[in-house]
Chains A and B, each alone.
Chain A
Amino acid sequence: MKQSVKAVGLAVTVATIILIAFIATMVYSLYTTVATGKAIGLGEPTYTLTDGALTMAIPLYINNTGLYDMTDINITTIVVVAPLGREGAGQPVEIASATTVIPAVRRGSTAEEIHELTISLTEILERNLTFLLFEEAEMYTNVAMSFTYAKAMTFSVSAEGIEVPWGPPLYGLNVSDLTVELEDAVPVAKVWVGFENRSPMDLSGALTVELRNAHGEVFSTGTVDLNAPSMTAWRGVVSIPVEDPSLVTPEGEVWLYVSIGGVTVGPIVIPYSGLVWWWP
């Protein structure tokens, strides 16, 4: 009896020492891994606009310099925007979310993964969020990360409300100087269209202009190619023949359709007045 009690006591003591040593090394290992400042890193994001979606690809790496494995790594980002109106920020709306899962990063190794965040332009149109294309907005990102360390402790870290600047691709879209001229005996309507591409992506697509008179009848329509690199202002003149000049009125509307990344936005209706006729 005495011997067995002693054996159990010894086993408990040894097990307690091993457990405490395991916790101590685990905490120390995790601390030294995080203290390097290079445990988790993000690369330069790249933007692509295809199939009606803006994809932001963020390269991320996890460098496990510790003594134990990191497993079940899960990174989730949620993007929320609030329109900036004259009365301050509006109701926030979730526009995108993405999750990246890395099964394991063994000790002494590095894992690299691409975290892809996709903002669907189709969804923006369907959910009546077209202000994102034309106006500045407050964008926030909520980031959540979880991982299991040494298969014993699970850490979950989440940060809410990280401010991210949002640049609208068609900021300040406007038309000006609408004229109708005779070119080679053909009446041609000319309209200047301008905007600023404040987004981080290059825009390429088409701009369709529809001119409507005061009665809502279309008197001229045409399309031009659109090519606006990131963070540049685009201004171009659209020249389109007028089939029936009798339909032209001094007041009316310009209907704009912008086709980018496989999605057509529009009509964006801008009224015009004071149309100038240039007859030689």
Chain B
Amino acid sequence: MKVREVVKRVLDAAVWALIMGGEFLLIYRLTGVAEQMAPIVPQGELIITSLAAVFIAFEVAIRLLKGTIFSYALDGARAIASVAILAYTTNFGVVDMVMPLEGVTLRLSINFQPILAAFMLLGIVSLAKSIMEAVGFASKKLEGEV
């Protein structure tokens, strides 16, 4: 692979990393949203940072390995990893918060399991799509070799 091609891929990876999670992480960090959310949702930092990090890391790897079967494998792995992280960090769709308010302890619980289930379903479909793409890629390669 030529140097020009490598540079092109690195730039492509950087741009897509910015689109697929980087910009969200920058907005979250630089606009003060993180500081505002921290006392209300203590686990919000972990959820957003880990999800953005997973998306960025997978996107960079996928873009760098474009044109190989690994990019499809990573695409499927990203779908599974993002859903798994979302489920784990949100306590499987039930978030509990405690807010002291003028001497009264306020407890807030949000149950969004139906929405998490929808995201999980989309993750599984994405995985299926990646498998189909990988099979298609492998068969094309085999056809080319034959």
A8 & B112 in contact (Cβ 8 Å cutoff): no
- The complex places the Cα of A2 from the Cα of B104 at a distance, in Å, of 59
A4 at the A/B interface (Cβ < 8 Å)? yes
For B107, the closest partner residue in chain A by CB is A158
Chain B residues near A2 (CB-CB < 8 A): 136
From A8, A19, A161, give the contact of B119 (CB < 8 A). Answer: A19
Chain B residues near A23 (CB-CB < 8 A): 115
Query: Restricting to B13-60, which residues have a CB under 8 Å from any CB of A?
Result: none
A11 at the A/B interface (Cβ < 8 Å)? yes
Secondary structure call for the B interface: helix
- The complex places the Cα of A211 from the Cα of B19 at a distance, in Å, of 90
- The complex places the Cα of A152 from the Cα of B103 at a distance, in Å, of 32
- The complex places the Cα of A258 from the Cα of B28 at a distance, in Å, of 66
Chain A 17-31 near chain B by CB (<8 Å), digits 1 or 0: 001000100000000
The number of inter-chain residue pairs (CB within 8 angstroms) is 69
A153 & B129 in contact (Cβ 8 Å cutoff): no
For A10, the closest partner residue in chain B by CB is B129
Contact size range, A: 20 to 34
A8 & B132 in contact (Cβ 8 Å cutoff): yes
A8 & B125 in contact (Cβ 8 Å cutoff): yes
For A9, the closest partner residue in chain B by CB is B129
Chain A 134-164 near chain B by CB (<8 Å), digits 1 or 0: 0000000000000000011111111111110
A19 & B110 in contact (Cβ 8 Å cutoff): no
- The complex places the Cα of A134 from the Cα of B111 at a distance, in Å, of 45
Chain B residues near A162 (CB-CB < 8 A): 104
B118 & A159 in contact (Cβ 8 Å cutoff): no
A19 & B115 in contact (Cβ 8 Å cutoff): yes
For B103, the closest partner residue in chain A by CB is A161
A155 & B108 in contact (Cβ 8 Å cutoff): yes
Chain A residues near B136 (CB-CB < 8 A): 1-2, 5
B105 & A160 in contact (Cβ 8 Å cutoff): yes
Chain B residues near A159 (CB-CB < 8 A): 101, 104-107
B129 & A12 in contact (Cβ 8 Å cutoff): yes
B128 & A153 in contact (Cβ 8 Å cutoff): no
B122 at the A/B interface (Cβ < 8 Å)? yes
For B125, the closest partner residue in chain A by CB is A12
A15 at the A/B interface (Cβ < 8 Å)? yes
For B112, the closest partner residue in chain A by CB is A153
A8 & B110 in contact (Cβ 8 Å cutoff): no
A12 & B122 in contact (Cβ 8 Å cutoff): yes
A153 & B115 in contact (Cβ 8 Å cutoff): yes
- The complex places the Cα of A16 from the Cα of B83 at a distance, in Å, of 13
Chain B contacts to A: CB under 8 angstroms: 101, 103-112, 114-115, 118-119, 122, 125-126, 128-129, 132-133, 135-136, 139
Chain A contacts to B: CB under 8 angstroms: 1-2, 4-5, 8-9, 11-12, 15-16, 19, 23, 151-163
Can you list 26 A-B contacts (CB < 8 A)?
A1-B135, A1-B139, A2-B136, A5-B133, A8-B128, A12-B126, A12-B129, A15-B122, A23-B115, A152-B114, A152-B115, A153-B111, A153-B114, A154-B110, A155-B110, A155-B111, A156-B109, A156-B111, A157-B108, A157-B109, A158-B106, A159-B101, A159-B106, A159-B107, A161-B103, A162-B104
